Amino acid sequence: MSDASLILSVSGLRGIVGESLTNQVAARYAAAFAQWLRRDRDVDTGLHVVVGSDSRPSRAELEPVIVDALAQEGCRVTRVGVQTTPAVALMVRGVGAEGGLMLTASHNPEQWNGIKPFTPDGAAPSPEQVTQIIDGYHAMAMRLSGRSHTGAIDEDDTCGQAHVETILRNIDVGTIRARQFSVVLDSVHGAGGPSTALLLGELGATVKHLYAEPTGRFPRVPEPTGELVTELCEAVCDQRADIGLAQDSDADRLALVDEHGAYVGEEYTLALCSQHVLQCAPSGPHAVAANLSTSRMLDDVADHFGAIVLRTPVGEANVVKGMRQTGAIVGGEGNGGVIWPRIGWVRDSLAGIALVLDMMARDGRSLGEHVADIPRYAIVKDKVSIPEGDIGPAIARVREHFTSEKSDTQDGLRIDWTNRWVHIRPSNTEPIVRIIAEANDAGSAQALIDQVRAVIGAPATA
C-alpha cells in the first residue's frame, strides 16, 4: 500500500479510499485513538466513544471497521449515523463520552475520506495530543488485531436535533421568525442537509434546498468556493431570496451569497459572525482568534469593538487552543469555519447561519449592507514546489529579506505591513510551500506573492 496521499495532521487522518485509506489504516487509527484515550484518562476500562460520519458512500465500509476496532479495545461505542461534525462533537460532550471519532474528509472530493478525533469536551485534540495519537498509530502493528469484542455497541440518532436545539437556545428566535427570511441552501448532498433544514424551519424561513439529501454523491467538489457555487448564486436571484448558504460535506464550513446573488465568500463568514458576537456581548475587553492565513477583516472588526485578535498556526486545534488561552468569545478560520464556544469547540456552519440571520433580523438590514460595512481586501493564494530539505532555508531567506517588517514565525513565516500581509508556510503533505497574500487589491497581493517567489528563487506567476 502506498501512503503517498495519507495525511496525518492536527486535523486527524485523511486519505484516498482503497489506496492510502484502507480498512486496516482506519482500524489502526481508531485503535491508536482508543489506546491514547486510555492513557490520557488513566483508565483500563469503561471508555465511551461516539462515532459519526458524513454522507460519503465509503462510510458503509469504513464505519463498521472503526466501530469494531474500538470495541476490540474495550470501548463502549455509540453509533450516531450520518451527522454533521459539530453535532457529533456536541454529542460527545452531551453524553459524557471520553472521546469521539468523525468519519469525514470535509471539503475533499468524494474519493477521499478521513477520521477526525474529539476529546471529552467535543473539541479537536491539542497539537500536543495529536502528536501522541500519531506516534501511537506509527508504533502499532499494521494488521488488524482480530480480537473478540469486549465493548458494547449501541445507536443514537438524536444528535442532529440536539445540536439545533442548542443553537436555538442561544439566539433571538422570535425576531428571526418575524423577518420571514427567504433562503437558498446548498448542502451539496452532505451531512448537513437534514439538520440545517430543521434549523431554518424553526427560524421561520422559506427554503429552496439544493442537493438536500445526504447521499454523498457530490454534484461538485464540496468546497464552497465562488467558482463552485454558481448554481446557488443563480438560484438566489431566481428566488429573489434574502441570502444564499453553501456548506461542505460535514457542515463545518459556510460560505455566503448576498441578496443580489453575489458570492460574498468564506472569509466574510467569520468576520460577520465575529462582528455580531462582539456587538451582542457585554462590555469587554474581549478576544477573538483566527489562524495566520485568515483575512485582516477580522482585525478591522475587532478594532471597532476594542477587542484583541489572537493569531495561531493553521488548523482548528491550534485556533481552539488559542481561544482557550485567551478566553476568546468567538474564533475560527477564513475557510468559512466559525467556532462559537456557546455552542461547541469545532467549526460549525449551523451556528454561523444562526448568527448571520440573527444579525440581519435585529437591525433589518440586508446581508449586502452588512458586508459593505467591512473593508474589502483581496487574497491571492499560490504554491511553489521545493525539495523538502530546501523549504526551511527558503523561508529563512524570506525572513532575512523582510527583516525591517513585523514578522510571526509560529507557522512558517507571516510578514505584516499596515495594509497588507504575506504568509509562507510548508505544506503538511507534500514538498511545497504555500504562499498567501492579502492587500487592498488583487494586483498588490499578487505583487507580494511575486516578491516572495523571487526571494526563494521561483519564477513569478504569469
Task: Specify whether 357 is located in the same domain as 401.
Answer: no
- Which of 264, 297, 315 is at the close of a domain? 264
Task: Specify whether 63 is located in the same domain as 133.
Answer: yes
Task: Specify whether 26 is located in the same domain as 145.
Answer: yes
Domain holding 340, by residue range, is: 267-372
Is residue 206 assigned to a domain?
Answer: yes
Task: Specify whether 412 is located in the same domain as 448.
Answer: yes
What's 402's domain CATH number? 3.30.310.50
Task: Specify whether 46 is located in the same domain as 121.
Answer: yes
Is residue 2 assigned to a domain?
Answer: no
Percent of the chain with pLDDT over 90: 88
Is residue 307 assigned to a domain?
Answer: yes
- Considering only 11-15, 141-145, 281-285, which range has the smallest mean pLDDT? 141-145
Is residue 1 assigned to a domain?
Answer: no
**Between 147 and 189, whose confidence is greater?**
189
Catalytic one among 11, 55, 58, 106?
106
Task: Specify whether 287 is located in the same domain as 394.
Answer: no
Bridge partner list, 370: none
- What pLDDT does residue 388 have? 76
- Considering only 132-146, 345-359, 370-384, which range has the smallest mean pLDDT? 132-146
Is residue 314 assigned to a domain?
Answer: yes
Q: What average pLDDT does this structure show over 414-422?
A: 94
Residue-wise pLDDT for 202-213, tens only, equals 999 999 999 999
3-state class (DSSP) for residue 309: strand
Task: Specify whether 246 is located in the same domain as 274.
Answer: no
Residue-wise pLDDT for 286-323, tens only, equals 999 999 999 999 999 999 999 999 999 999 999 999 99
Residue 2's pLDDT band, with cuts at 50, 70 and 90, is: very low
Query: How far apart, in whole angstroms, are the C-alpha atoms of residue 40 and residue 129?
Result: 9
What are φ and ψ of residue 45, in 5° steps? -140, 175
Is residue 292 assigned to a domain?
Answer: yes
Residue-wise pLDDT for 187-245, tens only, equals 999 999 999 999 999 999 999 999 999 999 999 999 999 999 999 999 999 999 999 99
Residue 70's pLDDT band, with cuts at 50, 70 and 90, is: very high
Number of domains in the chain: 4
pLDDT above 80 (res 460)? no
Task: Specify whether 30 is located in the same domain as 114.
Answer: yes
Residue-wise pLDDT for 42-53, tens only, equals 877 789 999 999
Query: How far apart, in whole angstroms, are the C-alpha atoms of residue 84 and residue 70?
Result: 21
106 catalytic residue (yes or no): yes
Task: Specify whether 171 is located in the same domain as 138.
Answer: no
Task: Specify whether 291 is located in the same domain as 233.
Answer: no
Contact between 356 and 256 under an 8 Å Cβ cutoff? The reply is: yes
What's 251's domain CATH number? 3.40.120.10
User: What Cα–Cα distance (Å) separates residue 431 from each residue in 264, 376, 409?
Assistant: 32, 33, 19
pLDDT above 80 (res 335)? yes
Task: Specify whether 196 is located in the same domain as 237.
Answer: yes
- What pLDDT does residue 143 have? 45
Q: What average pLDDT does this structure show over 97-117?
A: 96
Cα-Cα-Cα-Cα dihedral sign, residues 127, 381, 430, 55: positive
Q: What average pLDDT does this structure show over 147-176?
A: 92
Q: What average pLDDT does this structure show over 108-133?
A: 95
- Which of 157, 186, 219 is at the close of a domain? 157
pTM, rounded to two decimals: 0.94
Contact between 406 and 416 under an 8 Å Cβ cutoff? The reply is: yes
- Which of 157, 177, 193 is at the close of a domain? 157
Task: Specify whether 252 is located in the same domain as 170.
Answer: yes
